[in-house]
Amino acid sequence: MEFTDEKLKEFNGSDASKPIYVAVKGRVFDVSAGKSFYGPGGAYCMFAGKDASRALGKMSKNEEDVCGSLDGLSEKEMEVLNDWEKKFEAKYTVVGRIV
């Protein structure tokens, strides 16, 4: 399934009838199993319905970092992001990609 940034926003946990999706490096994961983390009020709810790549790499919860841009990330931040990607792959199903 292909997602635009706008379409992905529909899966931010605000509609209980829809799954919760988070994108990492352009791949969209169904994180509904982690609803307590990614759903409304969860510790990582700011990532729901968005590509969280930059924020994960920078270990940031700042809204301006919650995007798919990897521009300017250091080698260390890319390593952190790659570790996050592996965790997502192990725990959640890929349901699509950002176009």
pLDDT by 10s per residue, the chain, length 99: 999 999 999 999 999 999 999 999 999 999 999 999 999 999 999 999 999 999 999 999 999 999 999 999 999 999 999 999 999 999 999 999 999
CATH of the domain at 91: 3.10.120.10
CB atoms within 10 A of CB 8: 20
Q: Which of 34, 38, 74, 39 is nearest to 54 (CA)?
A: 74
Residue 81, domain extent: 2-98
Structural domain count of the chain: 1
Confidence (pTM): 0.95
